């Protein structure tokens, strides 16, 4: 912001008619530029005094002090708004980040699970299944049949 621009927005600043971006530029300028700060000081005293007289209020004791407070309040407002902006942005980024993490993990686990079932299961599981389920009973059956044969054999012998 140039001095011309700063000085022409003094009334807007005093009447709180600036948007946040203008306000930020304006405050940045007057804090570095003594000339514009002096100008603001004079205008602030003048305009505020006129307003106070107009509204039949007592005149302030210290316009410079009031102006400093007004500038402080404006700075706080800028910081607050900027903080809110970044906080909102931060929350959004965090949500996106968590979603990304969630989906990559989700995908990771799903794919490893699929891999396990494909590589391990089919053949081995089925043979072990067969051994467990059919061969043991078959052995038992054979043993049983053999025992039966033996007993009938002994019976016939007697």
Q: Where does this chain bind Zn ion (CB under 5 A)?
A: 3, 6, 33, 36
**Tokens 């043993």 belong to residue:** 143
- In whole angstroms, the minimum distance from the beta carbon of 28 to Zn ion comes to 11
Q: What is the rounded CA–CA span in Å between residue 37 and residue 40?
A: 5
Compare residues 3 and 141 and give the one whose CB is closer to Zn ion: 3
- Minimum distance of Zn ion from residue 27's CB (angstroms): 12
Output the smallest distance, CB 57 to Zn ion, in A. Answer: 31
Report in angstroms the alpha-carbon separations of 28 from 72, 86, 125: 12, 20, 74
Q: For Zn ion, give the closer residue by CB, 3 or 99.
A: 3
Q: Smaller CB distance to Zn ion: residue 22 or 52?
A: 22
For residue 78, give the nearest of 17, 6, 19 by alpha carbon: 19
Min. distance of Cβ 74 from Zn ion in angstroms?
17
Residue closest to Zn ion when measured from CB atoms: 33
Helix or strand or coil: residue 153?
A: helix
CB-wise, 1 or 45, nearer to Zn ion? 1
* Burial (0-12, 13-18, 19+ Cβ within 10 Å), 119: exposed
């Amino acid at each position: 912001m140039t001095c011309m621009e700063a000085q022409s927005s003094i009334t807007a600043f005093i009447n709180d008619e600036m948007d946040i971006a203008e306000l930020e530029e304006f405050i940045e300028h007057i804090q570095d530029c003594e000339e514009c700060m002096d100008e603001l000081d004079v205008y602030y005293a003048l305009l505020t005094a006129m307003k106070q007289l107009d509204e039949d209020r007592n005149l302030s004791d210290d316009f410079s002090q009031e102006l400093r407070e007004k500038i402080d309040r404006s700075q706080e407002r800028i910081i607050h708004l900027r903080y809110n902006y970044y906080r909102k942005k931060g929350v959004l980024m965090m949500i996106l980040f968590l979603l990304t993490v969630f989906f990559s993990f989700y995908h990771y686990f799903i794919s490893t699970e699929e891999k396990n079932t494909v590589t391990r299961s089919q053949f081995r599981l089925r043979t072990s299944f067969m051994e467990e389920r059919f061969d043991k009973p078959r052995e038992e059956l054979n043993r049983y049949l053999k025992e039966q044969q033996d007993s009938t054999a002994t019976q016939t012998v007697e």
